[in-house]
A and B are shown apart, each in its own frame.
Chain A
Amino acid sequence: MMDQEKAVGKKIDLESVEETLASNPAKKYYRSVDELAKTPEYLASAEDEFPNRKDLLSMDRRSFIKFMGASLALASLSGCRGFFLDERKVVPYVRQPEDMLVGTALYFASSIVLNGYATGVLVESHEGRPTKIEGNPQHPGSLGAANPMIQAAILELYDPDRSQMVTKDGLGSTWEAFYASMGDTLRATKGEGVRILAPTVVSLMMLGGIEKLQKAYPGVKWVQYEPTARDSVHDGAVQAFGQPVTPIYNFKDADVIVSLDGDFLTSLPGWLVYSRDFASRRRDVPETVGSKGHTMNRLYAFESTVTPTGAMADHRWGVKPSRIQGVAAALLAIATGKAVPDTPGVPRRALDSIVKDLKAHAGRSIVVTGDHQPAEVHAMVHALNAALGNLGKTVKMIEPVQLRPENQLTGLKNLVAEMNSGAVKALIILDGNPVFDTPADLQFEQALGKVPVRARFGLYADETSEKCQWHLPSSHTLEGWNIAKAYDGTLSIAQPLCAPLDDTRSAPEMFAALSGAAARDHEIFVQTMETLLGTGAGFEKKMNRCIHDGFIDGTAHPAKTVACKAIEPTVGKPISGTEVLFLPDPYILDGRFANLGWLMELPRPLTKVVWDNPALISPTMSKGLKFGDDDEMVNLEIGGKTIKMAQFLTPGQPEDVITLYYGFGRTVSGTIAMSDEEGSDIMRKGGFNVYRMRTSGAMHFAPAAITRVAQVYKVATTQSHNTIDDEREVLKEWTLAGLMKFKPEEPKELANLYPEDIWQYNGPQWGMTVDMNVCTGCSACVLACQAENNIPTVGKTEVARGRELHWLRIDRYYSGTLDNPTVTWQPVMCVHCEKAPCEPVCPVGATVHSHEGLNQMVYNRCVGTRYCSNNCPYKVRRFNYFNYSDNQDQFTTQKPPEARQPKPNGVQLLKMLNNPEVTVRGRGVMEKCTYCVQRINEARIEAKKQGQDPKDGDIITACQQACPTQAIVFGNIADKDSKVSKLRSSIRGYKLLEEVNTRPRTTHLGKVRNPNTEITA
């Protein structure tokens, strides 16, 4: 620093500074020593507030007149407001809401119920306008992470396609009309024959509402059904323990994990927590040379399709879904010393080794299975865990979080029977979409036709609404209060972030009105809280505390001590030949999120497919079908019914298994969800309705026949099947044993024609590490980035063309055989090269370097030559080929404006979604990851107020925040003690494409696997 000062000839005369101080005792504050010393630099800067501006005095007369004329003309334009300019008013708050500072975001704890459990979230709100959903770090079901579906709820809130008013027979009506009409029915029947069909009920307020209605009209009964119901978990627990307990797992203490089709990393309830815990043990690997004593866990996976869990496994076997039971039986038999059944496809030796490994870690292992496996598998898994002594240690049995645990399918069947018999006089359908998603053989639609009064309460007018007289718009979860149970039973509180945008009601409100004691949401919430917290003194304070936290502390269900009955290993009835596996789509789930462009366009973890649900088929099957064109369709015959749909070759898919994701193929819904299944355009979107192939007898897998159809349907995917045919070290991988012995090579001195330091850096230097070892590929980060940075969706055709806008992509690399490849995830976003190739090639200087090491993109200056993108070796830059952001229906910009479907308030609604901290990019502009510079600036401003640099951990990028496994770490690499600095120096650390000499600020940490040498040998 001193040298530099000398170099510019700057010399502070300290003596004169002291003199100044002494001579002027009245002046107490000074900003810098420069100020006192009155150095020329200081004087210059004090004099010239805006350096480089054109000085008025240096202007000649003519220019002055010109400027004056122009200024007058412009000033007079402002008088035209209200005529041809918008009239805008800035009005101060008459009463400023508490805590609100205009321009500063506020965060409110809330929770979101999904698939029968709640997850705590924090919602970012700008001046009363919620803009983003993040995990609640204190909530036991989130720990700060948020999955893509939860994050997309914010888009759902503003979805212009959400239903906005009550309709009767398709015509506008009112809530009062519905209450009057339904009230008549209820009074006439006393509730006899009135049924409520609800999704899995975990909300105390919902249950309270239904019970209130039942009290008023005792005949009312309710049934619950969801396509993803955990019936087999329920039945399996009953078989093993005699009561419906639910297992929850502690992966933190598990050394050995065996997954029998149990995708605990991205689908079991509580997966955010499981991922975090799993990663904590995955991460226990050497970071320095010669480090010893690491206890990284080991994961064996048997799976019937490709899931992130299988991709993370140290050993993976693809097994047909109906044969998973055989594997479970074999494991149980070996563990308990019984006759071991045959397990085709899985060598006995491997099973022996697994059981040996499990037994060596008795009490510190977990066997886990998936919801779609039959009850018998669940029972055997319970028995295995019991035999291994895991119960009560790594596997806890708790009271189910469903308020009425039951086999939902049985309930649904009974309801349909009642409906068919004419016993049901009125049916109120809460959420769900039974006309679309109930098993085809129940013929719910026909049964519904026999019910005289049908009312549908839901977010969207969909297939079910079309078949009901009444459609009642539901409030969004961010518009109302709720108390629901998290995966571990913790009572989670949802508070509204805004008043309902339209004339909608919450379900408890509706039930309250129907039962004759109309109450608003908040009143019902307070009443429910009173029953939970007691009405005594300090209730208000306690309740506010809970609302603030987002959950009621200490309400997690305690572990139940249950004894496992003796379970005989049974192989069940394996299906011979080809079989199909029905699974919910990873993102749009049972179809409820089909209208959310964010989720439709989020690449599915392994296939990277967007906007579609092609049948996943194995490479062997694909070869057998002899497609003329890779994009040809297939015909599936399942139980006498056929469906023609797209197919997708998926490495790792077990040989005779076809995976069908349900939820797609919507026929009545918003613009985005709508399927063009029947169309003939090869780029049609929206997927295929496979629900019509799903029957109550075969809810999860069924025998099938597949034939080729010589018709092309293009499936859009963000990553092609190119093999890596070069030796470039894009990925680094070790085995745990290998890493323990690993010594990184001394960095080679590469010949370099460039100066070492091209930038003079000062202040904190931002950098990031991405740990490929714990990345599960769940894509929460991709969605978080999209939500934070106002990234529009572009639609299927644009993705197919390679124009998706996601700033962050998770690259998937395969190695090994096509039939059972090993998967490595590599999240890649702008790595902020110190010598960024994009910068020198921009003709207008729209991409520049900051003094803190950020490679910045100046959208305003960008002309759009796209040279920067061509020269980026990581290809992380994204270009707005169309005006994607000004896009009310989110993806059809290819169509001219007049051809688009106008929505009431569509543009206004979606505008509210935008993060005000981030520029919305128009057409023709390049964009890319900024390291969430808006968050850096916010933290820097806060830190500056304290007179310091931001502390380590003050800045959390959006991707880092959402990541359930904390694979992304961001911070100051100039600070040697920061977490990111330490990780950067790990022996696993490497810079992507270091040989290109870009000097990335992002360091990737290599992948470690922990194979069982008995099996690999």
Chain B
Amino acid sequence: MTEPMNNKLIMGSQTLETIDEMVTDVVLDSKRHTKTWFMIVLAAFGVLQLLPIGVGWLLYQGIGIWGNNQPAAWGFDIINFVWWIGIGHAGTLISAILLLLQQQWRNSINRFAEAMTIFAVMCAGLYPALHTGRPWNDFWLFPYPNIMGVWPQWRSPLIWDVFAVSTYFTVSAVFWYVGLIPDLATLRDRAKPMWVKKLFAFLCLGWRGSVKHWERYQQLYLILAGLSTPLVLSVHTIVSYDFAVSIVPGWNVTVFPPYFVAGAVFAGFAMVLLLAIPVRAMYGLKDLITAKHLDWMAKIMLATGMIVFYGYMLELFYAWYSGETGEMTLLNWRLFGPYRYAYYALIFCNGIAPQIMWWNKARRNIGALWIVSLIVSVGMWLERFVIIPMSLTRNYLPSADKMYYPKLFDFVVFGGSIGMFITLMFLFVRFLPAINIFEVKEQLDHMKKHDSEHELAGVH
């Protein structure tokens, strides 16, 4: 599956017209959708049904249907929360930070990654909301005025979390929608049936593509990019505070914020690759999401993966260097305890497997790339497993130690959220332009200008 690579971000002999066609046809031409799409959505929707079952039973019975216990009061619930939040990091990073850094290659993948972000954050949001013992009282975590004068407790990282995640979700959603407006207008223009036209007309908020519109658009887009940029860093930093602020050995680590952020980008890119590779194949978008894009993403994965791996090593080093009994006990527990296989698997998935990305060949081999992305996704889940229940099962007082084992409903709810994610992703691909049309067109224009300049100068 090795694909030839040149330095072009758009392949083939594209014109503005072909790009429009290529992307909008996915939405407007139902013939473009094979049975495969239908099967995937149906299967994912089936898996999604686990969610109402799992959540319904959870609300009826209580957290006890999960495997959580004392001392491991957090298990799958928070593992999955952090995992999904991590996945939801690539989108905004690609859209905002790379936009500000004027990285052109982001243009074909940003829409896709942003959608992924939103859906991942939606999945993530399920967990903190449902993991509380009395979810019907979750609104107490929000500062709403009440006659008792009771407010949230601001020192708790969980409150910071509420704000970080909800802000991130709001800003990402707005950013995504604003970015969609010009493309929705394109869809409106190209749609044939009246009702589709009307629908997109409504959604594109009356976009006419006037210079004024473009000017406003760009101002807003840049502002939103500016707003999102710190959020990319802050969300996972704050999520890491959930652990770093505590006094639990294995959690109380100052390296957590950067290492969590890097981990999130790592996981996010892995997920983008995991989904983009099949989608570009299914819809013939290889000319827009080129091997060059995949190559870039693989390189970012390699870089962030190295940071994460460095984090793991640093954790070990600090445990030893601090000489702290609790830290050393935990170190032993991780390396030689009953959960050691999870730890070694983590090291393999996140530390060793991504190393093949050093080789051009591996980066160009789509299959390998996809498998590594899958391994990394699993690895990032294991990382949270290693951090959360593994640290909790080993305690300051040895008498309090107790093993943690998940129960059936841990998997049911997790599976349900995966189903939800895939369902939403494929619905998105079907009903909205998965690639940013106008930015790619701009890119094409830019490339053409570039080429003609070269021709004029006589150097090719």
Q: Is the CB of B399 within 8 A of A826?
A: yes
Q: Which residues between 150 and 176 of chain B lie within 8 Å of chain A, taking CB atoms? A: 150-153, 155-159, 162
Contact for A802 among B70, B147, B149, CB less than 8 A: B70
Given A840-B156, A865-B131, A925-B134, A993–B70 Cβ distance below 8 Å? Answer: no
Query: How many Å lie between the Cα of A801 and that of B138 in the bound state?
Result: 26
| Interface stretch (choices B100-108, B321-329, B452-460) | B321-329
Q: Give the chain B neighbours of A811 by CB distance below 8 A.
A: 397, 399
Query: How many Å lie between the Cα of A844 and that of B149 in the bound state?
Result: 12
Tell me how many residues of B have a C-beta within 8 Å of chain A: 56
Contact for A843 among B162, B246, B332, B405, CB less than 8 A: B162
Contact for B401 among A720, A882, A893, A894, CB less than 8 A: A720
Given A719-B399, A841-B245, A863–B329 Cβ distance below 8 Å? Answer: no
A27 at the interface (CB under 8 A from B): no
Given A719-B399, A843-B162, A878-B70, A726–B133 Cβ distance below 8 Å? Answer: no
Q: Which residues between 117 and 139 of chain B lie within 8 Å of chain A, taking CB atoms? A: 128, 131-135, 137-138
Q: Is the CB of A843 within 8 A of B156?
A: yes
| Interface stretch (choices B25-33, B57-65, B183-191, B375-383) | B57-65
Given A801-B69, A870-B246, A881-B68, A725–B332 Cβ distance below 8 Å? Answer: yes
B258 at the interface (CB under 8 A from A): no
B194 at the interface (CB under 8 A from A): no
- Which of B155, B242, B396: most chain A Cβ within 10 A? B396
Q: Give the chain A neighbours of B74 by CB distance below 8 A.
A: 866-867, 870
- Which of A727, A802, A845, A866: most chain B Cβ within 10 A? A802
Query: How many Å lie between the Cα of A54 and that of B134 in the bound state?
Result: 28
Query: How many Å lie between the Cα of A801 and that of B128 in the bound state?
Result: 22
Q: Which residues between 871 and 885 of chain A lie within 8 Å of chain B, taking CB atoms? A: 871, 873-875, 877-883
Q: Is the CB of B152 within 8 A of A801?
A: no
Q: Give the chain B neighbours of A843 by CB distance below 8 A.
A: 141, 152-153, 156, 158-159, 162
Q: Give the chain B neighbours of A870 by CB distance below 8 A.
A: 71, 73-74, 246, 248, 392
Contact for A863 among B133, B147, B150, B248, CB less than 8 A: B133
A862 at the interface (CB under 8 A from B): yes
B140 at the interface (CB under 8 A from A): yes
A388 at the interface (CB under 8 A from B): no
Q: Give the chain B neighbours of A728 by CB distance below 8 A.
A: 325-326, 329, 396
A996 at the interface (CB under 8 A from B): yes
Q: Is the CB of A883 within 8 A of B397?
A: no
Q: Give the chain A neighbours of B281 by CB distance below 8 A.
A: none
A798 at the interface (CB under 8 A from B): yes
B398 at the interface (CB under 8 A from A): yes
With CB as the reference atom, state the residue of chain A lying closest to B400: A875
Interface string of B246-279 (1 = CB under 8 A from A): 1110000000000000000000000000000000
With CB as the reference atom, state the residue of chain B lying closest to A858: B150
Q: Give the chain A neighbours of B158 by CB distance below 8 A.
A: 841, 843, 865, 867
Q: Is the CB of A52 within 8 A of B133?
A: no
- Which of B70, B135, B157, B398: most chain A Cβ within 10 A? B70
A812 at the interface (CB under 8 A from B): yes
Q: Give the chain A neighbours of B133 by CB distance below 8 A.
A: 862-866, 879-881, 923-926
Contact for B399 among A809, A861, A873, CB less than 8 A: A809
Q: Is the CB of A993 within 8 A of B396?
A: yes
Contact for A801 among B67, B159, B329, CB less than 8 A: B67
Q: Is the CB of B397 within 8 A of A924?
A: no
Given A724-B398, A871-B248, A874-B396, A864–B134 Cβ distance below 8 Å? Answer: yes
Q: Give the chain A neighbours of B162 by CB distance below 8 A.
A: 843
A813 at the interface (CB under 8 A from B): yes
Q: Give the chain B neighbours of A874 by CB distance below 8 A.
A: 396-397, 400
With CB as the reference atom, state the residue of chain B lying closest to A864: B133
Q: Give the chain B neighbours of A925 by CB distance below 8 A.
A: 133-134
With CB as the reference atom, state the residue of chain A lying closest to B336: A725
With CB as the reference atom, state the residue of chain A lying closest to B156: A843
Tell me how many residues of A have a C-beta within 8 Å of chain B: 60
Query: How many Å lie between the Cα of A893 and that of B137 in the bound state?
Result: 22
Q: Is the CB of A863 within 8 A of B141?
A: yes
- Which of B74, B152, B332, B398: most chain A Cβ within 10 A? B398
B395 at the interface (CB under 8 A from A): yes
Query: How many Å lie between the Cα of A893 and that of B328 in the bound state?
Result: 39
A483 at the interface (CB under 8 A from B): no
A919 smallest CB distance to B (angstroms): 14
Given A844-B153, A845-B150, A869–B70 Cβ distance below 8 Å? Answer: yes
Contact for B140 among A722, A826, A861, A881, CB less than 8 A: A861
Contact for B71 among A809, A869, A881, A926, CB less than 8 A: A869
Q: Give the chain A neighbours of B132 by CB distance below 8 A.
A: 863-865, 924
Q: Which residues between 165 and 215 of chain B lie within 8 Å of chain A, taking CB atoms? A: none
Query: How many Å lie between the Cα of A893 and that of B153 in the bound state?
Result: 32
Given A864-B132, A866-B133, A870-B74, A875–B395 Cβ distance below 8 Å? Answer: yes
Query: How many Å lie between the Cα of A871 and that of B400 in the bound state?
Result: 13
4 new A-B contacts, CB < 8 A, other than A837-B247, A867-B242, are A720-B403, A726-B398, A728-B326, A840-B156
Residues of B within 8 A of A (CB): 61-64, 67-74, 128, 131-135, 137-138, 140-141, 147, 149-153, 155-159, 162, 242, 245-248, 325-326, 328-329, 332, 392, 395-405
Enumerate 8 A-B pairs (CB-CB under 8 Å) in ascending A order.
A802-B72, A812-B399, A837-B247, A842-B153, A844-B152, A866-B133, A867-B73, A871-B248
